[in-house]
Amino acid sequence: MKQTLCSVASNVEVMPGIHLMWIEAPNIACSVLPGQFITVRCGDFTLRRPFSVHQVSSREIALLLTVAGKGTLWLSQRQTSERIDILGPLGKGFSIEPESRNLLLVAGGIGIAPLVLLMQYASSQHQITLIHGASTAAQLYPSAMPKTGPSSAGKKRSKLSPLPKGVQFIPVTEDGSMGKKGMATDILPDFLDWADQVYACGPVDMYKAMAEMSLRAKRSNLKLTKCQVSLEVRMGCGFGACYGCTINTKKGLKQLCHDGPVFELDDIILQEVRI
């Protein structure tokens, strides 16, 4: 964990209200693991904002951030070469069991953010299927979508690294504007027999639906696929000192920033999780 002032390498709106920011942070880029996060001091705001690390290069890390309040608005307005105060890498990320070969990734909306880094790390030795659910086609991950010719959207897409070669991308939209119509969890059962492990990032309601599937499988003595999920709750310090992000699990109280943000789905008491 290191706190440092880092330069913004680029900052582009790649989806409506969603920015891709590359930051020159070689000390973090060389050590961060999929599912870990950093915190950023946003202007004069007291609390730092947590962000999953989205991608890495040899010297830079990327954040995929939604403009959702004053802090993220400030961050989205940073220009190239401006310096920002970041702390990381923090938390416990995703883990892959040695015997696993087929990985199923499930993203709900901006939950795609940490899963792209997981694909970067795992694609050379594993078969990966990514289900991305969103409200409409405009909110699907741009670099995974087919190119439609020269446009401003195409220029934005070029700022995103393409998905690793061989990844099967399955889009799902609530309005049916791209891919299958419905929710990501609607088609999840079609892939559970194939998957050795499942990784998910999205809203709590998505996790609740997945937990119900797991419970039904247990009752029917069907195959259970281990599932790791990345949780998001309000944080204070980001490194375990303030206990502000404590959640209740079947293994007792856990701090999201220190013991997570990645947990086994079956360990979380989802009814008590408060965003």
205/231 Cα distance (integer angstroms): 12
Q: Among residues 217, 208, 221, which one has the least CA distance to residue 272?
A: 208
Four-way CATH pick for 102-230: 1.20.1250.20, 3.40.50.80, 3.40.630.40, 3.20.20.80:
3.40.50.80
For residue 238, give the DSSP letter.
S
Contacts of residue 130, Cβ cutoff 8 Å, sequence gap at least 6: 105, 106, 107, 115, 119, 144, 163, 167, 168, 169, 170
Model pLDDT, residue 188: 93
Q: With DSSP H G I counted as helix, E B as strand and the rest as coil, what are the percentages for the chain, rounded to 5?
A: 25, 35, 40
Model pLDDT, residue 216: 85
Q: What are phi and psi of 37, to 5 degrees?
A: -140, 170
For the chain, residues with pLDDT lower than 50 are: 148-158
Query: pLDDT by residue (tens digit) across 19-60?
Result: 999 999 999 999 999 999 999 999 998 889 999 999 999 999
Q: Among residues 176, 233, 197, 11, which one has the least CA distance to residue 115?
A: 197
Q: Please list the residue range(s) of the chain that carry CATH number 2.40.30.10.
A: 2-90
Model pLDDT, residue 150: 43
Q: Please list the residue range(s) of the chain that carry CATH number 3.40.50.80.
A: 102-230
Model pLDDT, residue 155: 44
Model pLDDT, residue 149: 42
Model pLDDT, residue 158: 44
Instruction: Residues 2-90: name the CATH superfamily.
Output: Translation factors (2.40.30.10)
The two three-digit tokens of residue 270, written as one number? 């989802």
What number of CA atoms fall less than 13 Å from residue 154's CA on the CB side? 6
Q: What are phi and psi of 119, to 5 degrees?
A: -65, -40
Dihedral sign from CA coordinates of 238, 239, 245, 248? positive
- Across all residues in the chain, what is the average pLDDT? 90
What number of CA atoms fall less than 13 Å from residue 28's CA on the CB side? 31
Q: At 45, which amino acid appears?
A: F
Residue 57's Cβ-count burial label (10 Å; 0-12, 13-18, 19+) is middle
Q: With contact defined as beta carbons under 8 Å apart, do 20 and 14 qualify?
A: yes
The two three-digit tokens of residue 11, written as one number? 């900052």
Residue 261's Cβ-count burial label (10 Å; 0-12, 13-18, 19+) is buried
